[in-house]
Amino acid sequence: MSFGDLLQVLAGVGVLLYGIIIMGDSLQIIAGDRLRKLIGSLTATPIKGLLVGTAVTSILQSSSATTIMVVSFVDVGFMTLTQAIGVILGANIGTTVTGQLIAFDITNVAYICVLVGAAICILAHKKRVKHIGVGIVGFGLLFIGMEMMQGPLSFLKERPEVTAAFSSHPAVAFLAGLILTLIVQSSSATVGLTMAIAVQGVIPLQTAIVIILGDNIGTTITAVLASLSANRAAKQAAAAHVMIKILGTLVILLVLPFYTSLIEMTANTISRQVANAHTIFNIIIALLFLPFVSQYANFIRKLIPDDESVQATSPIYLNRALLTVSSAAAIDAVRKEMIRLSRTARQMIEDCRRLIVEGDEKLVEEVERSESNVNEMTRDIVQYASEVGQGRLSTDMSTLLNLSTNAVSDAERIGDHATNLVEMYQYLQDHHLTLSPKALEEGNEMFALVLTALDKSIQALDEENPDLAAEAIKLEQRIDDMEKALRAQHIERLNRGLCKPGAGVVFIDILSNLERVGDHATNLADMVIEVSKLHKNKKSKTESAPKGKEAAK
């Protein structure tokens, strides 16, 4: 094999990998917010997790990306180990889609795809259409990369010692698949190279299957690496992934001749047989483990016991691994952290109510500590969001990111108003002033209405429910009216000498701060309405697009 041939093989692997990457990136951008919602549903039952994991991995074109997300979600407590196992099983199946694609012998069509895709990229004006063009280019590159590898590898036919080494020593074939996948970080690329070698008649199907088994274990390294800096729950998820592959491989090795005969019956060409071996192996694993997911999760917990340490108060969803594997997942992390921040700010207002109305002085330190956490979380979220925004985003995902970042500002301002309320309480204490029973009663009513608005807004954000958001927005006018009415009533009491002037001024400031909290609650609800409009506009454009004969006209 000449140096030029070696370079061509390596270039073919590179072209194949690049095709996988740009096709996956384009599919992510085209899917947009639908992918974010799909990723958000990963926390379902194991069966639904399997189906969604398969779908997400088919879009991302990488089981490594999905498993990194799973490890990240388990790390932050967004997903349980049992749910994670279901998604991992689905990701294993989803990643075989690429192998099935490259098993088609459509090289001539591939060149046309690259030509058409490139033309779309150059001539199109809309970003979405350009991304479709990039995806088509990526699809074509899959097959061009395969063709680049196959030619130079034909020399192996003249080297019987190579064939003998792989056929007589299955361990060599197994290690070759494992090590190659560790190096290229892509099971699909290893499957493609295995196909290219098998097509030349260098290795029999059984040897190719052994290489694929090594490849399946090698692909788990990404989850292991992602879990190293994470908590014990994430390490459990990574260990579950590794052991699923190892146990599945042992099962297939025990019945390897029978499994080889089974695969031979599934197709006439060696390339399709290799692809089927990869797919059926992962389907068998899913069928073996899915009925016993809970028991398997308990087994993993015995190997790696749960961490009983207390969860940190800093951001928990902003896992940096998501920045590299999925913009949709990273944006959803920003949204979830924003909602968590909003809940913290809401609790601060509740603590202020108990402090001012009920006189629970222990809450002063609690609010001050929460304010410090809110400020740190705000900085972390904004920094993370800015890094997400530097990547390639679809229009709807970019809009969602901007709306979430703006909502972070509203949540942070609610925390600031809570701090103002604490300062007003401390002023009353320092100057030995007290609010009248009537003022406390009215203040409690104002607190209750504002907290109701916050609850509805935050719930609407969490559920992405525009109807609930509309209810929260309707409360804004009630809050404004109540603030004006209570202010007028209190001024009347001041004029009648029923309240001390110093305490009266503080009470009016309390009402003013609560009214502003109500404004921020409305802003949070407005985000839900804006996202809902975004989805409706996108849906209406899709439905109004000309189809069939109408388009021809």
Of all residues in the chain, the percent with pLDDT exceeding 90 is: 28
Q: Does the pLDDT of residue 316 top 60, yes or no? A: yes
Q: Does the pLDDT of residue 221 top 80, yes or no? A: yes
Of all residues in the chain, the percent with pLDDT exceeding 70 is: 86
What pLDDT does residue 551 have? Answer: 41
Highest mean pLDDT: which of 19-28, 383-392, 528-537?
383-392
Q: Rounded distance, CA 371 to CA 419, Å?
A: 7
Which pTM value belongs to this model? Answer: 0.69
Tell me which of 310 and 196 has the higher pLDDT: 196
Q: Which of 177, 137, 168 minimizes the C-alpha distance to 277?
A: 177
Q: Residue 61: what are its φ and ψ, rounded to 5°?
A: 60, 30
The count of other CB atoms within 10 Å of the CB of residue 494 is 17
Question: For 326-542, CATH number?
Answer: 1.20.58.220
State the pLDDT confidence band at 515, using cuts at 50, 70 and 90: very high
Show Cβ contacts of residue 26 under 8 Å, excluding neighbours closer than 6 positions. 131, 132, 134, 135, 138
Cβ distance 323 to 387 under 8 Å? yes
Which amino acid, one-letter code, is at 184? V
Q: Residue 125: what are its φ and ψ, rounded to 5°?
A: -105, -30
Domain ranges in the chain are 3-303, 326-542
Q: Rounded distance, CA 248 to CA 271, Å?
A: 22
What pLDDT does residue 99 have? Answer: 83
Q: Residue 324, exposed/middle/buried by CB under 10 A (0-12, 13-18, 19+)?
A: exposed
Distance of CA 301 to the CA centre of its chain: 24
Q: Does the pLDDT of residue 468 top 80, yes or no? A: yes
Tell me which of 129 and 450 has the higher pLDDT: 450
Which amino acid, one-letter code, is at 87? V
Cβ distance 411 to 524 under 8 Å? yes
> What is the rounded average pLDDT for all residues in the chain?
82
Q: Which of 147, 102, 46 minimizes the C-alpha distance to 275?
A: 102
Q: Rounded distance, CA 473 to CA 479, Å?
A: 10
State the pLDDT confidence band at 548, using cuts at 50, 70 and 90: very low
Which position has the token pair 């990643």?
95
Q: Categorise residue 455: left if φ over 0, alpha if ψ from -120 to 50, beta otherwise.
A: alpha
Q: Does the pLDDT of residue 552 top 50, yes or no? A: no
Which position has the token pair 């599919």?
27
Q: Is the alpha carbon torsion for 399, 400, 405, 407 positive or negative?
A: positive
Q: Rounded distance, CA 26 to CA 275, Å?
A: 24
What pLDDT does residue 549 have? Answer: 39
What pLDDT does residue 213 have? Answer: 92
State the pLDDT confidence band at 450, using cuts at 50, 70 and 90: very high
Q: Rounded distance, CA 177 to CA 221, Å?
A: 13
What pLDDT does residue 553 have? Answer: 35
State the pLDDT confidence band at 237, using cuts at 50, 70 and 90: confident
